[in-house]
Structure 1
Amino acid sequence: MARNASLDAARGILMMLGVVLHTANIYSTQGGWLVWDTERNGFFDVLTELIHVFRMPAFFWISGYFCALTFQRSGSQGLLRKRLPRLALPLVATWLTLNVGQELLMAAMRGEDASKALLDGVPLFHLWFLVDLLVYIALAALLLPRVRSFLRLSERLEKLPLPGMLLILVGLNMTFSIAARATGMAYENVFGLTSLYRLATYAPFFIVGIFMYTHASARETFLKMPIVLIIPALPLAVVGSRYTHGHGALVGEAALALEYLMIWISVAAILRIFHAVFRRESRMTRFLSDAAYSIFLFHHIIVAALGMALLNQPLGAWTKFIIVASVSLGLSALIHVTVVRRNRAARLLYNGK
């Protein structure tokens, strides 16, 4: 099966939304990010919450889809040979250079001891998803050869109507979530890299992406999601997330199920939008596929630096947001075009190619 240009575009834009998301964190009223400006606007709280609903679930669905494509073409060994370096090398390179540089820069701008900032440890920050993808890819390479018979026997799932499919998908999420929490170690941070709960949260989206690559009818049904449903789904997912804790076990589990249902509706609607807009491969889809990874890796330090630089400037939250987001996106794209794409070592370390 040929690559899907709409999914290449979707993955690229979803990664670039990280620029919007991290910039919005600076000017939200909730704070808690690396940089928090005194100029704030409640709109950015809403924006970050809505983006969180669909962005990473859709990204992991697409990653599962392309994982299945690579496995079909190259088998388990080819999957590991092609995907692990593309994930691991940029993860390590960005962590040891850009993330370290960011810690030093932030310490200097705050007048703090730079050596202490490094000795306290350099977090992964925006690289966390690469750790989870490495785990999923490794497990996929191990398990996919053993589940081919199941995939062949699952044609009945392809015939499910959309409502029935959504119920199955929510059930899958709930099963993973409950199983993770039942271990008593769901929230333990493994070497500061990931947790069982986070892996269990996104694994169903990755698994369904694999399944829907191999089952075209199920994918077609999924992508028939009425786009208009994303309008109520996004805020309902946010509402559901607010009731998952502190309101009793029954309410919490019902709210979690509602949240997952709304997330699946949002993911399907988002993917349908991309399918409609990017039907064929073009210069735009090729650029998005090629540049988005580098842009995502580089943008974080730029957003943080620009956010710090504008802290004391007499500008409103909206003006600062537009400046930081646009300059960060443009500068990250420029770095990709002028440095990463043209230098073999940089391309390997910051684009995995």
Structure 2
Amino acid sequence: MQQQHRFRIPMPTTTQQREYFLDSIRAYLMLLGVPFHVSLIYSSQSWAVNSADPSQWLTLFNEFIHAFRMQVFFVISGYFSYMLYLRYEPARWLKVRLERVGIPMLAAVPLFTLPQFFLLKHYTSAVGDWNSFDFYQKFNTLAWNLISHLWFLLVLVILTTLGMLVFRWLRDRPASQRDYRQVGWGTLLGAFLAYGLVWCLLRRLIFIFQPTWLMDGLFSIGVMQTTLFLPFFMLGALAWKHPPLKALFVRFNPAMHLGAAVTFALYVANQRYSSGEGWLYELDALIVLMMGVFMTNVVFAFGHRLLNAHSPRITYLVNASLFIYLVHHPLTLLYGIFITPHIANNTLGFFVGLALIFALAFLLYEIHLRIPLLRFLFSGRSAKK
């Protein structure tokens, strides 16, 4: 999310060419959070704020973004994380990565998600009857509301900590390039399917014997979400170590494009016809895992062909993307609460919301760059060079 590979530490390894297309993809995936949440207002999904009549095309648009965005993001995150692991001493790597991820997450709680909680509590029914909650219910409700928008940062903190062990094992393994030349999409899809079946079995056992765990915000994000996205993080690290694997990602494959279309159709069908008491979440996990593999090829192939060039605009978006992501959520809620009811046309409301929220978010980004404390909290840089 930050421009992590800007560090320059002398290493005895050969410097690889800058991966401009990965910078671009990472920035755009982060910025897709804005149309995702604005379209959520106008979709048939139940959210804190919804329009009076849902829009079918915005529902489909929202589901498409949600079906693949974070899987591809974690592949890129794993790729750059392992690259930096090889560039730093392990303890130094852990410190830098946790600072770059953890400090913005912690800063966002009092500055963004805590005010957002009071906004939801007083102007929507999303929080519920707060006064009737017992201590644990209040704690769990606060946990959900304070970290739900920051969930991917918490997952990154956990994956980074696990990386101290996993990356050491990966680094010390011989790089068997010949073996990875034999790895194809069928092998990867089979591995992800097998992992998904194990994950689904684990979730179903928890659902049978300890269902309250799944309603706990910290457990749901810290354990279930982390383990769901772990293979994508590791796939990115493997792609850095084994160039034949990365080459597989960036080659156009019509079968993978077709697979992405079919999997998305299954994703939509599962959202429409499954129920929470049935196999909705297990099927969702399997589809998300498969969709992530398919869309890694689709996004990387198009990105490598169209976006693999240096651009000051992309550099700016890379640096701005995390702040934009963090600030856009409360702005979207404010828009949904106070402006959405006054715009009758859903499509018009969506585009007005996009324009207004992006404009305010980038304005706040420019303001924060000029305040040293805020610049440090959200970019890890104490002074502008």
- Shorter-chain TM-score: what band? 0.7 to 0.9
2:92 to 34, 57, 78: 78
> Offset of 1:319 from its aligned partner?
0.8
The within-5 A match list for 1:1-353 is 1-30=16-45, 32-109=46-123, 121=142, 122-150=145-173, 152-153=175-176, 155-178=178-201, 187=214, 189=216, 191=218, 194-226=221-253, 229-230=256-257, 233-240=260-267, 242-243=269-270, 257=286, 260-337=289-366, 339-353=367-381
> Offset of 1:352 from its aligned partner?
3.5
User: 1-side partners of 2:267 and 2:58: how far apart?
Assistant: 19
Count of paired positions: 351
Contact 1:53 1:234 in 2 (8 A): no
SS at match of 2:342: coil
TM-aligned CA distance change 1:108 to 1:193, over 3 Å: same
2:31 alignment partner AA: M
TM-aligned CA distance change 1:177 to 1:85, over 3 Å: farther
Once the two structures are superposed, residues 64-106 of structure 1 have per-residue CA deviations (whole angstroms, 9 ceiling, x without a partner) of 0010111010032122121101111111111111112223334
User: 2-side partners of 1:180 and 1:157: how far apart?
Assistant: 32
Structure 1's unaligned 5+ residue stretches are: none
> Offset of 1:263 from its aligned partner?
2.9
The RMSD of aligned alpha carbons is: 3.4
Structure 2's unaligned 5+ residue stretches are: 1-15
Contact 1:53 1:238 in 2 (8 A): no
1:221 alignment partner AA: L
TM-aligned CA distance change 1:289 to 1:258, over 3 Å: closer
2:106 alignment partner AA: V
Bigger Cα displacement from structure 2, 104-113 vs 303-312:
104-113
TM-aligned CA distance change 1:91 to 1:259, over 3 Å: closer
Bigger Cα displacement from structure 2, 161-170 vs 283-292:
161-170
TM-score by length of 2: 0.80
Contact 1:181 1:197 in 2 (8 A): no
Contact 1:93 1:350 in 2 (8 A): yes
TM-aligned CA distance change 1:299 to 1:259, over 3 Å: closer
> Offset of 1:330 from its aligned partner?
1.9
SS at match of 1:135: helix
> Offset of 1:257 from its aligned partner?
4.8
Once the two structures are superposed, residues 128-150 of structure 1 have per-residue CA deviations (whole angstroms, 9 ceiling, x without a partner) of 11111100000002332133333
Bigger Cα displacement from structure 2, 40-49 vs 228-237:
228-237
TM-score by length of 1: 0.86
1:167 alignment partner AA: G
User: 2-side partners of 1:166 and 1:195: how far apart?
Assistant: 25
Contact 2:368 2:375 in 1 (8 A): yes
